[in-house]
Structures are given as structure tokens and as C-alpha cells.
Amino acid sequence: MLFEPLTLRCGLVIPNRIALAPMTNLQSQADGLLGEDELVWLAARADGGFGLVATCAAYVALDGKAWPGELGIDRDACLPGLTRLAARCKAGGMTAMVQLFHGGVRADSALTGEPTWSASTWTEETPGFVPPRAGTTDDIARVIEQFAAAAARAEQAGFDGIELHGAHGYLLSQFLSRTMNPRTDGWGGDLVGRARLIREVTRAVRARVSARFAVGVRLSLEDFGQARGMDLDDNLAVAAWLAEDGADFIHASLWDVARKTAKRPEEHAVPLVRAALPKDVAVIVAGKIWSPSEAEGMLALGADMIALGRAAILNPDWPALARQGNEAIKRPPITRLELAARGVSPLFAGYLTKWKGLVAD
């Protein structure tokens, strides 16, 4: 089933069920324009047979930029590089998408010169944490337009679709959070209010792009890492609402597909997400999938596509290996020299050292 085409309800046909997950890689230029290392990294996975190649999180506004070397899609000056990137990733018949992102409080004000903002203000006992200001209704209106404008740029550049980054504790996730969003002005508090921003963004994006351009959303279903205040049932309801708002797929970021849900330890998340959505809305799942058999297992549970992160870093030809029935997938640790041979720049390799046990000393 991994190599069957997937037709999204917008009509876009993805040639197989294997996606490259969006991953931070620090490989673009300081001003957000496309870097050669970024292009090499993504092109190697497109050439390796990934049916869907997704960019790293691309910031839709300067005050949402979270990392040096992050790809930008916040202005028309980004279009030449984005156009080149889309054409290269699609050269072999694969599908290419941009992940649209705003960091909220996780943006880096020291990098951008812009103060951070979020649904509310709070403090954390984290070194260097700068409390955000509470976003105004003008901030909210502006960021909705910035997401929509970025989606239009992605389509103009030749990409096949976009994914909204509503996971991992970034701006859209911060608004969804029970703990980060106590607003009482209709943009927070109860689930309807907390889901309002991500729904309005989805609707605005859907209205700005053509009918055959894919729109999806990545969600964290429960707490993990910086995703806090996430409730499983809340986010299953949000997923269903987003389908009503025009989402063609929901990308469930599970971190580890071997685990059951925390709220209902006897149940796996994938069947729950599948049941929450109309049959024509696709489910993508990610989380420590390494082998073809693990990937097939997720499809058997109800996923329509699997997304690979670390496995794709170490195995740019993962789809070819899977097609051969080869379970001998390269696993950590991996040397920097081996990473370089796989299209991973020294900067990206340095970033990967933060992932325990991935890069050999």
C-alpha cells in the first residue's frame, strides 16, 4: 500500500504514501532566501522517491522567525528561490509543499529585532525565556492575512500545497492550548475560542488559493515538549472542524507511533484521528517510524500516508529500500561524513547533535 497513489479531496494526486516530514535544518540564508544547502537536502529526498517532499517550517512574518537559516515565505523577494525549489523537487514527478509557520513566543526576538507575542503573556523557568506580549486583535488579523499571503506565494512559486504548522507549541498551537490561552475576547478560553485562530487561518488560506491546491494542518494531539495544554479530545474535535474549514489532510505529529495515547492508554491515536475525519480527508502520521513494516502498520491502523523525519535524514533513498522489501534501514548513530554524503550540510549536522544518539561523536 505504501506505493499506491494518494488522491486528496482537492484532486491533487501524490504518487505514493511516503512523505518527508518538515524539519528545521538552518540551511537557508540569513535573510530567509533559499540557500543552496536547503535545495540540495530536499532535492536528494525527492530524487530518493519520497512522494511528498515538505520544506522546513517557513516563516510567514519576520516576528515569527525562530531560527537562524530559517526559510522565509513572508515577502515576494522570496519567490525566485521558492520557484526554483519547487521546480527542482517536482522534477521527478513528486509532490512538493511548504510548511507555513509562525513561532509566537518561540520566535527569536534577538534574531529578528521584533518582540514576541502570543495568545497571552506568561513566564517559564527556562534560561533566556522572554515573556511574550499578549497579541492584540490587530496582531491576529495581521497574522491571518500573513498566512494567507504566504500560501498564495507558495502556489505562485509552483508548489502543490501547504501545511499549516499547528503543532509543537508554536503560535497556532499556543492559541489552542488550555494553559497558554485564557483570553476572554472570543479568541481563547473555551475550545471554540482557542480554535478560532487556526480555523480562521485555514479558511483564509483555502479562500486565497485555487481549488486543486492542497491545504493541510499539522497538529499535536497531546502534550509533548513545547506543546503544552493539549487535550486529546479537544484536538480530535479541532481536526474535524478543520476538515469543515477546507483542510485536505491532518498531519498527526505523534513523536513515537509505538505509544498509545496518554489520555486513553488502551487506544492508539491513528484510529481516533481517522474516525474523527470525513473519509475524503487524509491522515498523515509521523513519529519514529523507521522500517517499512512499521510504516505499513500505520497504514493498517487507518493512516493514509506516513511522514519520515530521522529515517529520511539517514536514508534519502528510504522509498527505494522499502520498495525492495529491505528492512535494513540505516539507524543511528551516523557520522558527519556520512551525513554529508546524504545531502546534510555541516550546519544541519551540527543542529542534529541536539538529538541524543543521532550523530556519532
Q: Which residues, 6 or more positions from 296, have their beta carbon under 8 angstroms from its beta carbon?
A: 1, 2
Taking only the tens place, the pLDDT of each residue in 249-265 is 999 999 999 999 999 99
Tell me the average pLDDT across 13-32.
98
Question: What are the start-end ranges of the H helices in the chain?
Answer: 36-47, 79-89, 109-112, 137-157, 171-176, 191-194, 196-208, 232-244, 269-276, 292-301, 310-314, 318-323, 336-341, 346-352
Q: From CA 48, how far away is CA 317, in angstroms rounded? A: 4
Torsion over CA: 158, 339, 312, 205 (sign): negative
pLDDT tier, 126 (very low <50, low <70, confident <90, very high otherwise): confident
* Largest Cα–Cα separation, the chain: 55
Identify which of 221, 215, 171, 216 has the alpha carbon closest to the alpha carbon of residue 197.
Answer: 171
Count CA atoms within 13 Å of residue 308 on its CB side: 34
pLDDT tier, 182 (very low <50, low <70, confident <90, very high otherwise): very high
Residue pointed to by grid coordinates 499571503: 149
Reading the block at residue 202, the C-alpha cell is 485555514
Its pTM stands at 0.98
Which domains are seen in the chain, by residue range? 6-330 (3.20.20.70), 333-361 (no CATH)
- Confidence check: pLDDT of 327 > 80: no
What three-state secondary structure class fits 227?
strand
pLDDT tier, 128 (very low <50, low <70, confident <90, very high otherwise): confident
Instruction: Enter the DSSP assignment of 60.
Output: S
So what's the pLDDT on residue 84? 98
Torsion over CA: 295, 298, 299, 305 (sign): negative
- Confidence check: pLDDT of 53 > 80: yes
Tell me the average pLDDT across 81-91.
98
Residue pointed to by grid coordinates 525527492: 46
- Confidence check: pLDDT of 121 > 90: yes
So what's the pLDDT on residue 248? 99
% the chain with pLDDT above 90: 97
Tell me the average pLDDT across 199-209.
98
Average pLDDT value over all residues in the chain: 97
Q: From CA 247, how far away is CA 240, in angstroms rounded? A: 9
Q: From CA 119, how far away is CA 175, in angstroms rounded? A: 5
170 carries an active-site annotation: yes
Catalytic residue among 170, 175, 213, 224: 170
So what's the pLDDT on residue 218? 98
pLDDT tier, 216 (very low <50, low <70, confident <90, very high otherwise): very high
Q: From CA 116, how far away is CA 106, in angstroms rounded? A: 8
Reading the block at residue 139, the C-alpha cell is 496582531
Distance of CA 307 to the CA centre of its chain: 10
- Confidence check: pLDDT of 57 > 80: yes
